[in-house]
């Protein structure tokens, strides 16, 4: 089963590249700012399935670069989905909790009303809507707080800062589920395989690590595993202003994914051990 993956350097894309049968495309092979070019690549390869693990992920920069973010996160995934629908093959695309408003404390269900707070969330929501409109065997996988031993992410930043400093102030009123990229990749592979034989499973699903935790408590767990003595002080988001507003409630209800695809919610503490070990050598 040949699976075409858009993305090569991202966290999830690097994990997907370890699977047999995966063909990874970087931006030289598929320009994400040219939707028709990405659709043409799918037609040329004629794979058994496509996974979109590429995205414009600069949340703060998107506030001043929304047209480009919307092209990459919105229009291009739509073109990919239409190309897959034309070929009759499954398409899985990774989305985000940023499509929600971040209000309340109840975990978001896939069918809940969206309400993105900024440009990044709006661009990803546009992609979701375009994929749904394409009408093929699709799955949109919303996830949150992606971490791995690759690229730039919270775990790697904390390991670096924790080794350099005695104390840090970290936001404690944003709650969500850290999600190892390795688990996301495995989920995507399972989903495309099942969609190939049962297109009725198409839809939007949530996948995030458990248990839910604040960024501050997540940092404490990282430091504990790495034997770093850096002290963490809790602060509210208002004390750490950013160009783009972050959702306070990033909790995702992952029940549907387990019910339909048999993919359980992963324990991020298990994945974190592997990530810390890999980063620290």
Question: Which region holds residue 215: left if phi is over 0, alpha if psi is between -120 and 50, else beta?
Answer: alpha
Q: Each residue of 73-114: pLDDT tens digit?
A: 999 999 999 999 999 999 999 999 999 999 999 999 999 999
Domain assignment present for residue 219? The answer is no
CATH of the domain at 88: 3.40.50.720
Domain assignment present for residue 272? The answer is no
H helices within the chain, ranges in order?
Answer: 11-16, 35-45, 66-70, 76-87, 119-134, 154-164, 181-197, 215-225, 255-261, 268-280
Task: Say whether pLDDT at 3 is over 90.
Answer: yes
φ, ψ of residue 27 in degrees (nearest 5): -75, -20
Domain assignment present for residue 234? The answer is no
- Which of the four pLDDT bands, split at 50, 70 and 90, describes residue 27? confident
Task: Say whether pLDDT at 209 is over 90.
Answer: yes
Domain that holds residue 16: 3-151+177-209+250-267
Q: What is the pTM (predicted TM-score) of this model?
A: 0.96
Summarize the confidence of residues 230-253 as an average pLDDT.
Answer: 96
- Sign of the Cα torsion 112, 117, 121, 125 reads positive
Secondary structure class of 28 (helix, strand, coil) = coil
Q: Each residue of 137-181: pLDDT tens digit?
A: 999 999 999 999 999 999 999 999 999 999 999 999 999 999 999
Report pLDDT for 1.
80
Domain assignment present for residue 167? The answer is no
Tell me the CA distances in angstroms from 102 to 41, 56, 115, one per residue in order: 36, 20, 8
Query: d(Cα 275, Cα 281) in Å, to the nearest integer?
Result: 10
- Which of the four pLDDT bands, split at 50, 70 and 90, describes residue 117? very high
Written as six digits, the tokens of 265 are 């919610």
Quick check: 143 and 96 in contact, CB under 8 A? yes
Which distant-in-sequence residues (6+ apart) come within 8 Å of 44 by Cβ? none
Domain assignment present for residue 204? The answer is yes
Quick check: 263 and 257 in contact, CB under 8 A? yes
Q: Active-site residue numbers?
A: 120
Summarize the confidence of residues 183-212 as an average pLDDT.
Answer: 98
**DSSP calls for 146-200:** EE-SSSS-HHHHHHHHHHH-SEEEEE-S-EE--EEHHHHHHHHHHHHHHHHH-GG
Domain assignment present for residue 122? The answer is yes
Domain assignment present for residue 99? The answer is yes
Domain assignment present for residue 237? The answer is no
Domain count for the chain, please give it. 1
Quick check: 272 and 146 in contact, CB under 8 A? no
């Amino acid at each position: 089963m040949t699976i075409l993956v858009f993305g090569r350097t991202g966290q999830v894309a690097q994990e997907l590249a370890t699977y047999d049968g995966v063909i990874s495309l970087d931006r030289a092979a598929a320009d994400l700012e040219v939707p028709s070019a990405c659709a043409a690549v799918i037609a040329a390869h004629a794979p058994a399935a496509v996974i979109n693990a590429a995205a414009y992920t600069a949340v703060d920069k998107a506030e001043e670069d929304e047209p480009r973010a919307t092209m990459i996160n919105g229009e291009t995934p739509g073109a990919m989905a239409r190309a897959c629908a034309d070929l009759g093959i499954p398409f899985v695309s990774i989305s985000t909790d940023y499509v929600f408003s971040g209000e309340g404390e109840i975990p978001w269900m896939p069918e809940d009303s969206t309400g993105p707070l900024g440009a990044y969330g709006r661009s990803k929501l546009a992609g979701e809507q375009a994929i749904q409109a394409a009408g093929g065997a699709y799955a949109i996988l919303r996830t949150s707080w992606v971490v791995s031993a690759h690229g730039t992410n919270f775990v790697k930043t904390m390991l670096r800062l924790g080794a350099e400093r005695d104390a840090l102030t970290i936001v404690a009123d944003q709650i969500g589920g850290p999600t190892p990229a390795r688990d996301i990749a495995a989920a995507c592979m399972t989903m495309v395989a099942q969609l190939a034989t049962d297109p009725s499973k198409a839809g939007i699903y949530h996948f995030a690590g458990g248990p839910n935790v604040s960024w501050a408590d997540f940092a404490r767990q990282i430091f504990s595993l790495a034997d770093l003595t850096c002290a963490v002080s809790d602060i509210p988001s208002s004390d750490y202003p950013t160009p783009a507003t972050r959702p306070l409630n990033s909790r995702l209800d992952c029940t549907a994914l387990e019910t339909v695809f048999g993919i359980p919610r992963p324990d991020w503490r298990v994945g974190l051990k592997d990530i810390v070990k890999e980063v620290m050598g």
